[in-house]
Amino acid sequence: MNEKIVKNVGATERIVSVALGAYLLAKGLRRLNYRSVPTLMFSGYLFMRGGLGYCPISKRLGKKDVQTPAINIKAVMTVAKPREFVYNYWRRLSNLPAFMHHLQEVKELNERQSHWIAEVPGIGGKIEWDAEIVKDEPNERIGWRSIDGALIRNAGKVEFFDAPRQETEVRIIFSYHPPAGGIGTAAARLFHPIVKGIIENEAYNFKRVIEAGEIPTINGQPSGKRTGKIKLI
Amino acid sequence: MKALCWNGVRNLNVETVEDPKILNPRDALVKVTMSSVCGSDLHLINGFIPSMQAGDILGHEFIGEVVEVGPEVHQLTVGDRVVVVSVIGCGECSYCKEQLWSLCDNSNPHAVIQEKIFQYPTAGIFGYSHLFGGYAGSHAEYIRVPFADHGAFKIPEDIPDEQAVFVSDGVPTGYMAAEMAGIKPGDIVAVWGAGGVGQMAIQSAYHLGAERVIAIDGLDYRLAAAATHGHAEVLNYKDTNVLEALKEATGGRGPDCCIDAVGMEANSTGIEHYYDRTKQFFKLETDRPAVLRQAIAACRKGGTLSVVGVYAGFADKIPMGLFVNKALTMRGGQMHGQRYVPLLFDLIRKGKIDPAFMLTHPMPLRKGSEAYEIFNGRTDGCIRAVLMPQAS
């Protein structure tokens, strides 16, 4: 192998490769005879693939090198309030925790800078960072990003457009860069669906709060014994 | 308090549960005095609507007395005798403002999940599965009513309980069915299903100008009620060829308006019935659309179909060729109760609509399971069993 080793296996895939490799190793060793040779060889290959993050087969198949792009979560909704009202509500970033429950607090330090405290969705634990508003066009758009040094680099943008009947179209993008390096990326990948679900739901809460003044809930209502599996759909 | 809980397919039990609390500023608590069974509950009980959880409290058609109001409730006071609409609407989103309350954007706590199936989320409904919000239902001594200023209406003193309870759901659903049918003076209207909603659709159709109303059902006692209380002509599909009979009754034209007040568990005869039962059993279709098919076939050219029977998901063998080539119009919807309640109080007062005869079986809450057995079995002349949670 005279090619330079370039990582071309994603973090989740690496975890899966090692896990599968370990399973096959155990299986192959349990009944050691000539038939377990291919199993053990394949197991070794998977260990190599997972451990090095390099897969010659993927390389042959033309798979590109792994990068860690920003993870974006988008939401779009129409709100039955005038554009100015919606902009002003959002411009007070301290209003965000009223509908984004994973944010514990957003403290406005001055016109541009703010301090954010958040629970890490799906995992628990707290992270804090400072952010600054980098774009502020009244009634049009607001953009912000974390200031250098944040554990999870993140940014957000919300844009406002006129909709029929004096309503407002709101387009929201949150993006975050998981901490660089294997474990951070792997964790971010694993938790991304959870984070995405929570943030989508919380973004929808914006509409509920600004229109209805409250977020509908059934938490705390009575029910009979919850026997059996709870599954929503 | 006591409440009637769903514990699995055809498994209901009265259990002791926590009392409800005010959870949001616009909530009110209501002491339930009457809570009706509804045909749509049967789809939940028989296991055809997904996202039920063991322990869910059933019931969505009810009246009661306000016992507590949240800080943002301004139209109600403790002691008010109210009827509560079964669909929950915030009153502030564009749908509520357009009087399309069952399409409320903000009342379904599970909107983001429901959206994955329906593409756009719909309103929460009391006691009607987690897809529709998972709200605790009214077959209980007390119930929490969200957005109470919009959903709870004070009942005029001269309207008795046995009329008022059906203004929660059955009457507005029947009325909206007739309204969506676009009835013009002189029209002949066919109504499939002579349960509570069908009965109300019949009376509403006459009120909106129908010349004749023909009711179709498989139960003679319900057809008799439609004839007596709704002045409908009747057809029993079990011993009549419905398509031929409707053609015959309309001078070969077919009914101008066809109302489906049956929905996803339609019964039919012969091979069609076994076909749908089998597909539904194997989850190859969620809905048995026998009535919808028949209505499309029966309707006159250029006529209107109005669908208020509950459908959950997907139905097969819908004769789209007939629908298109006969240039039909089809409308459907869960009722927008908040829009109709004041009007319906008025029509009841004037004697144009009278739902009281539907209350055939008043029963205490503790007999809730039995009430549904009678209702589901269509035995003992039952049109509606109504639970009385405050009676012993």
pLDDT of residue A150: 82
Q: pLDDT over 70 for what percent of chain B?
A: 100
pLDDT of residue A22: 80
DSSP three-state, residue A7: coil
Q: How far apart are CA B131 and CA B336, in angstroms?
A: 18
The partner residue sitting opposite B3, judged by closest CB among A207, A222, A228, is A222
pLDDT of residue A2: 45
pLDDT of residue A45: 77
Domain of B138 in residue numbering reads as: 2-169+335-388
Residue A128, min C-alpha distance to chain B (Å): 28
pLDDT of residue A60: 66
Q: Does A175 touch chain B (CB under 8 A)?
A: no
Per-chain mean pLDDT for chain A: 82
Is residue B268 a contact partner of residue B190, using CB atoms and an 8 Å limit?
A: no
CB contact under 8 A, A228 and B8: yes
Angle at CA of residue B17, ends B16 and B21, nearest 5°: 145
Per mean pLDDT, which range of A10-14, A124-128, B149-153, B308-312 is the poorest? A10-14
pLDDT of residue A200: 81
Residues of B in contact with A217 (CB under 8 A): 23-24, 109
| DSSP characters over A163-188 | ETTTEEEEEEEEEEEPPSSHHHHHHH
pLDDT of residue B144: 98
CB contact under 8 A, B24 and A167: no
Question: How sure is the predictor about A28, in pLDDT bands with cuts at 50, 70 and 90?
Answer: confident
Q: Longest Cα pair distance anywhere in chain B, in angstroms?
A: 60
Mean pLDDT calculated for residue range B115-119: 89
Q: How far apart are CA B16 and CA B57, in angstroms?
A: 11
Is residue A62's pLDDT more than 80?
no
Residues of A in contact with B94 (CB under 8 A): 78, 80, 165, 167
Same-domain check for residues B116 and B186:
no
Q: How far apart are CA B334 and CA B217, in angstroms?
A: 21
Same-domain check for residues B113 and B253:
no
Distance of CA A38 to the CA centre of its chain: 39
Radius of gyration for chain B, computed over Cα atoms and rounded to the nearest angstrom:
20
pLDDT tens string B33-82: 999 999 999 999 998 888 999 999 999 999 999 999 999 999 999 999 99
Question: How sure is the predictor about A233, in pLDDT bands with cuts at 50, 70 and 90?
Answer: very low
Is residue B216 a contact partner of residue B377, using CB atoms and an 8 Å limit?
A: no
- CATH assignment at residue B359: 3.90.180.10
The partner residue sitting opposite A216, judged by closest CB among B72, B108, B130, is B108
The partner residue sitting opposite A232, judged by closest CB among B5, B88, B113, is B113
Same-domain check for residues B322 and B345:
no
Is residue A68 a contact partner of residue A81, using CB atoms and an 8 Å limit?
A: no
Exposure letters B3-14 (e unless 16+ CB within 10 A, then b): bbbbbeeeebbb
pLDDT of residue A185: 65
Same-domain check for residues B151 and B65:
yes
Mean pLDDT calculated for residue range B172-201: 98
pLDDT of residue B127: 97
Mean pLDDT calculated for residue range B340-368: 98
Same-domain check for residues B22 and B149:
yes
pLDDT of residue A189: 67
Residues of A in contact with B135 (CB under 8 A): 218, 221
Question: How sure is the predictor about A58, in pLDDT bands with cuts at 50, 70 and 90?
Answer: low
A-interface mutation test, from B57, B73, B93, most A Cβ less than 10 A away? B93
Same-domain check for residues B58 and B207:
no
Alpha carbon separation from B42 to A84, A195, B59, B371 (Å, rounded): 48, 37, 11, 12
Same-domain check for residues B61 and B152:
yes
- Which of B288, B304, B332 is where one domain is finished? B332
Joined together, the tokens standing for residue B177 give: 């069915």
CB contact under 8 A, A213 and B113: no
B141-170 residues touching A, CB cutoff 8 A = 144, 146-147
Same-domain check for residues B108 and B200:
no
CB contact under 8 A, B23 and A213: no
Q: How far apart are CA A10 and CA A15, in angstroms?
A: 9
Task: List, in sequence order, every beta strand (DSSP E) within chain B.
Answer: 2-6, 12-16, 28-36, 56-57, 61-69, 81-84, 87-88, 124-125, 142-145, 152-154, 188-192, 212-217, 233-236, 257-260, 304-307, 329-332, 359-364, 384-388
pLDDT tens string A168-179: 999 999 998 776
At a CB cut-off of 8 Å and minimum separation 6, what does B346 contact? none
**Residue A161 bridge partners (DSSP):** A169
pLDDT of residue B149: 98
pLDDT of residue A64: 54
pLDDT of residue A34: 77
As for how many domains chain B has, the answer is 2
Q: How far apart are CA A224 and CA B137, in angstroms?
A: 11
pLDDT tens string B280-326: 888 888 889 999 999 999 999 999 999 999 998 889 999 999 999 99
A69-98 residues touching B, CB cutoff 8 A = 78, 80
pLDDT tens string A192-215: 777 788 888 888 899 999 999 999
Same-domain check for residues B143 and B189:
no
Is residue B311 a contact partner of residue B334, using CB atoms and an 8 Å limit?
A: no
Same-domain check for residues B232 and B305:
yes
CB contact under 8 A, B54 and A232: no
- CATH assignment at residue B246: 3.40.50.720
Is residue B356's pLDDT more than 60?
yes
CA atoms within 13 A on the CB side of B120: 8
pLDDT tens string B123-165: 999 999 999 999 999 999 999 999 999 999 999 999 999 999 9
Is residue B142 a contact partner of residue B20, using CB atoms and an 8 Å limit?
A: yes
Alpha carbon separation from A82 to A96, A162, A164, B48, B95 (Å, rounded): 19, 8, 10, 42, 16
Is residue B351's pLDDT more than 90?
yes
Q: Does A167 touch chain B (CB under 8 A)?
A: yes
Q: Does B204 touch chain A (CB under 8 A)?
A: no
Indicate the pTM of the whole model: 0.86
Same-domain check for residues B163 and B206:
no
Minimal CA–CA distance to B355: which of B340, B374, B376?
B340
- Which of B332, B348, B365 is where one domain is finished? B332
Is residue A65's pLDDT more than 60?
no
Residue B244 burial by Cβ neighbours in a 10 Å radius (0-12, 13-18, 19+): exposed
Is residue A59's pLDDT more than 50?
yes
Is residue A230's pLDDT more than 60?
no
CB contact under 8 A, A212 and B91: yes
Q: Does A225 touch chain B (CB under 8 A)?
A: yes
Same-domain check for residues B63 and B151:
yes
pLDDT of residue B161: 98
Q: pLDDT over 70 for what percent of chain A?
A: 78
